[in-house]
Amino acid sequence: MVGFIVAFSALLTVQAAFANPVRSPRTPYRVKDSHHVPRGWKRVRRAPADHVIDLQIGVKQSNFQELERHLYEVSDPDHQRYGQHLSADEVKELVKPTDETLDLVHDWLGGYGITPSGYSSAKDWITVSLPISAVERLLDTEYHLYEHKDGGVVARAPKWSLPLHLHDRIDTIQPTNSFFRARAQKFEYISAPVHIDPQYTPPSNEALNAVCNVSSVTPECFQTLYSTKGYKTHACGKNKIGFNNFLGEHPIRTDAELFLAKYRPEAVSSAKDFPQITIADGPGDYALTPEEIESATSKEANLDIQAIAGISWKTPIISYSTGGSPPFNPSESTPDNTNEPYLVWVNYLLDQKSFPQIITTSYADDEQTVPESYAQRVCQQFAQVGARGTSLLFSSGDSGVGPYGECISNDGKNTTQFLPVFPPSCPYVTAVGATKNFEPEVVANRPAFTGPDGVSHGNYTSGGGFSNYFTAPAYQAKQASSYVKNLNGLYDGQYNKQGRGYPDISAQGLYFAYFWNGTEGTISGTSASCPLTGGILSLVNDALISTGKPPLGFLNPWLYSKGYKGLNDIVSGSAVGCGVDGFPAVEGWDPVTGLGTPNFPELVKLAGGKLFY
């Protein structure tokens, strides 16, 4: 009760301060950022004035260019500093805002009687908890409720302003104009009846044929296909792998036990051992509730833990479950993360002195639902994680070049264009596409179908494309430009020829065997290939760390310069989407399977590790 009184008193103080600001801003307000409301959203009404939100203020980092230089030097296998990853304090020192910038921002907030409720470790993000009426005054804007066609409701302000003297001091503020979807199944998985490709032929390799069933693919098949079978981990005390859960997802231990008991019996203990870390009131460690069973919650989380544990035993696993994106309830005046989970999670991570060397994430959305300013800043947070020696893997999406019927630009012109996804489009992460079949592997694809309930479902295809926000980074520029040139004008005008291309790598992503709610089934998606790839790369890290070498860290510069030689090139299939065949898989890199799928022994050899069989 005391805590409630203190919090309520603080809100009254803020509201009183806004009724009588201490002083006016030193320069006039001008629009800082605007973002078109994406298709699929409609404005409903004004947001309730007393609804409280946690406003995240992205303060200008003092020297991100220097941080980026360090990131690329320690990630470039040809540089003398390769593998010399930065400490938490070194990263913090590079990105912390200048004293002058912080003073100006604090002066602005203080003018309205606002005291920050929290900071990121580098103080490059400031949190203030305010009622919407106060935020509207602070940002000279109006919040409305917007409803997505799938039912999610958020409070947003497509245009907001700052005093002119702060335009170069603050990069972004959210939640304002980010429409990263609030629907309950934003993650990239497909649960559908098995469809076997009529062109499929069983592998001629006897070892593969004995363990690989195209309609239900198991850990033993992955171990055989990618040659991890028999590898014995040696760096379990130092090497770790993590995975992310959002939108109420949390892994169910009893399901993981059932899966491992059947497919990796020696690893059953890992279902009981892995810690589940909750962030920002994320879900904890408990069995499925009746409501979660009804809404099919935790299929994604179960897939992640089972895919990783099935391939990377005995590497310790950490689960992160981050809150956010709750249903909007205008009758409650309580702080609300309102659908910006990546920022909450990555800032939590950067506050820690250490974290896993590989972390996988199976959640994404159309890049154009996120304002460019916000995407840039979140991407810069990911760069900090990479500089500290961790590989961030993101699934590349399940709709090829874009979902059919939704491939329309969000710039007010409504032109037809392919839809890249974020965060895979960020150049500081490794995006993972999906394959199917075994000899050879081809682009993962499942045709559109109508389910037993009469509901029509679009096709599932490994996602890929080119960013509209981020240019092709130096490590990829040669491969991306060559691919675009060889398209000979195909799809001109529907994608950004200078954009960062993705995915970077791929792995199996169709009909994974898994357990949910005590029952075995199959599940597909780049959300399957992403944790699988993470598990394989964690074994590469084991082979490095156990011989005294640093982990892979930010993967992409190594992948594009050396690591590609340890990948199986995929040359058949395409990123079907937007009503067209989409970008085709070709020799070398392509924006549907990246550089290819893992060949574990070759990757270890190229990385300089030692194989322990």
Active site residues: 300, 304, 527
Q: Which two tokens stand for residue 466?
A: 């080119």
Task: Provide the CA 212 distance to its chain's centre, in angstroms.
Answer: 29
What is the DSSP-derived secondary structure letter of residue 580?
B
CA distance linking residue 341 with residue 343, whole number of Å = 6
- Label residues 317-337 b or e (16+ Cβ within 10 Å = b): bebbbbbbbbebeeeebebbb
CA distance linking residue 233 with residue 317, whole number of Å = 13
Q: Please, what is the end-to-end C-alpha distance for the chain in angstroms?
A: 60
List all residues 6 or more positions away from 48 whose beta carbon is below 8 Å from its beta carbon. Answer: 132, 330
Q: Which two tokens stand for residue 436?
A: 């199917």
Q: Under the phi-then-psi rule, with left for phi > 0, alpha for psi from -120 to 50, and beta for the rest, what region is 312? A: alpha
Residue 127 pairs in a beta bridge with 56, 118
List all residues 6 or more positions away from 164 whose beta carbon is below 8 Å from its beta carbon. Answer: 27, 28, 29, 30
Cβ contact 482:410 at 8 Å: no
Cβ contact 563:600 at 8 Å: no
Identify which of 421, 431, 525 has the alpha carbon closest to the alpha carbon of residue 189.
525
Strands 276-279 and 317-322 turn out to be parallel
Angle subtended by helix axes 372-387 and 64-75, to nearest 10: 50
Cβ contact 473:559 at 8 Å: no
DSSP element (H, E) containing 457: strand 456-457
CA distance linking residue 369 with residue 351, whole number of Å = 28
CA distance linking residue 95 with residue 571, whole number of Å = 41
**CB neighbourhood size of 605 (10 A):** 15
Rounded to 10 degrees, the C-alpha dihedral 355/356/357/359 comes to: -110
Check whether the bond before 531 is cis (ω within 30° of 0): no
Angle subtended by helix axes 372-387 and 341-350, to nearest 10: 30
- In the Cβ-directed half-sphere of 224, how many Cα atoms lie within 13 Å? 17
CA distance linking residue 556 with residue 428, whole number of Å = 8
CA distance linking residue 280 with residue 320, whole number of Å = 11
- Label residues 435-459 b or e (16+ Cβ within 10 Å = b): bbbbeebbbbbbeeeeeeeeeeebb
Cβ contact 593:568 at 8 Å: no
Identify which of 569, 588, 580 has the alpha carbon closest to the alpha carbon of residue 435.
569
